[in-house]
């Protein structure tokens, strides 16, 4: 058989169809059928008609928004100071901020839990606060990395030009650096916001028993309710699609797991 480079892509294309496309189609089918395989909108109605599940959606949004804002407020100065500083070994310091990504998250949350227990006594007293602290602790490196990459790529001449033209530090930051770092902000936000809506293990481990969107899937899974779980997955997928379209994050900067290395 004649070998061609194109044919190398075939196994991967088949793989993607089998394990990415097919599961999504099955998900859509299950979401709109009942146990007897008949078409139904009941799963959709039971999500949007139930104040509890709508409350879950709202609570997820609240946690995700607060976590994202806290991460941004912490990560932006870190990335900015680091990118602007003149220290010799910047990569080493950056590594320090990124390294936690490579330590298993469940072990890191265990560590956080121990220390929070000492500080707060009873963890169950501050469920929302702990959820935000836990998520921030877990996701902060994912926000720092894309921000640093973007800010450090900004041409220093632009800042100097702004200064030469009479802008003070503040104005240079607000009108030059900040707008140019927006791609980094967008990619950082997308790294944090979605996991914060779905990573229910962080809440579980910190004794926050309130459901977020991910916990709904977990509970349907535990109850063998594939149809209900599929509907929640589909709703999450729709949210992710909207989010991706809004942020327009195409191929660039998919920093999960670190664009590092």
Per CB under 8 A, contacts with other proteins among 155-174 are none
Residues 37-66 that bind other proteins (CB under 8 A): none
Residues 79-98 that bind other proteins (CB under 8 A): 81-82, 85, 91-93, 95-97
Length of the chain: 261
Q: Cα–Cα distance between 183 and 154 in angstroms, integer?
A: 11
The helix or strand, by DSSP H or E, that contains position 13, with its residue range, turns out to be helix 9-16
Residues 98-157 that bind other proteins (CB under 8 A): 99-108, 110-115, 117-118, 137, 140-141, 149
Q: Cα–Cα distance between 218 and 201 in angstroms, integer?
A: 10
Question: In Å, how far are 18, 34, 195, 251 from 65, measured between CA atoms?
Answer: 34, 34, 11, 24
User: CB–CB of 46/228 below 8 Å?
Assistant: yes
Applying CB under 8 A, what is the total number of residues that bind other proteins? 88
Shortest spacing between CB 169 and other proteins, in angstroms: 10
Angle CA 78–79–82, to nearest 5: 80
Site map 9..38 versus other proteins, x via CB under 8 A: xxxxx-xxx-xxxxxx-xx--x--------
Shortest spacing between CB 81 and other proteins, in angstroms: 4
Shortest spacing between CB 243 and other proteins, in angstroms: 8
Shortest spacing between CB 119 and other proteins, in angstroms: 10
Residues 206-235 that bind other proteins (CB under 8 A): 214, 217-218, 221, 226, 229-230, 233
Pick from 121, 127, 105: nearest CA to 204: 127
Long-range residue pairs from 49-58, CB within 8 A, at least 24 positions apart, any chain: 53/216, 56/210, 56/211, 56/212, 56/213, 56/215, 56/216, 57/213
Shortest spacing between CB 104 and other proteins, in angstroms: 5
Report if residue 258 touches other proteins, rule: CB under 8 A. Answer: yes
- Taking CB under 8 A as the binding criterion, the range among 6-14, 42-50, 124-132, 170-178 that sits at the site for other proteins is 6-14
Q: Which one, 26 or 182, has the nearer CB to other proteins?
A: 26
Phi, psi of 33 (to 5 degrees): -130, 165
Binding other proteins by CB under 8 A: which of 33, 177, 180, 204?
204
């Amino acid at each position: 058989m004649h070998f061609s480079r194109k044919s190398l892509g075939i196994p991967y294309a088949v793989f993607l169809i089998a394990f990415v496309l097919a599961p999504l189609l099955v998900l859509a089918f299950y979401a709109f059928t009942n146990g007897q395989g008949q078409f139904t909108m009941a799963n959709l109605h039971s999500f949007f008609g139930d104040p509890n599940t709508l409350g879950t959606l709202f609570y997820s949004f609240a946690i995700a928004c607060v976590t994202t804002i806290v991460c941004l407020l912490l990560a932006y100065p870190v990335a900015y100071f680091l990118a602007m500083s003149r220290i010799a070994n910047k990569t080493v310091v950056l590594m320090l901020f990124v390294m936690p990504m490579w330590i298993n998250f469940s072990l890191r949350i265990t560590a956080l839990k121990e220390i929070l227990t000492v500080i707060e006594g009873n963890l169950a007293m501050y469920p929302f606060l702990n959820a935000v602290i836990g998520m921030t602790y877990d996701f902060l490196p994912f926000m720092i990395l894309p921000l640093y990459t973007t800010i450090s790529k900004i041409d220093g001449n632009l800042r100097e030009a702004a200064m030469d033209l009479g802008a003070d530090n503040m104005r240079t930051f607000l009108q030059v650096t900040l707008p140019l770092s927006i791609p980094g902000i967008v990619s950082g936000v997308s790294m944090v916001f979605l996991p914060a809506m779905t990573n229910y293990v962080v809440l579980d481990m910190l004794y926050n028993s309130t459901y977020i969107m991910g916990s709904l899937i977990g509970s349907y899974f535990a109850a063998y309710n594939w149809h209900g779980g599929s509907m929640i997955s589909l709703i999450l997928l729709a949210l992710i699609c909207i989010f991706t379209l809004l942020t327009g994050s195409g191929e660039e900067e998919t920093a999960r797991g670190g664009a590092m290395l």
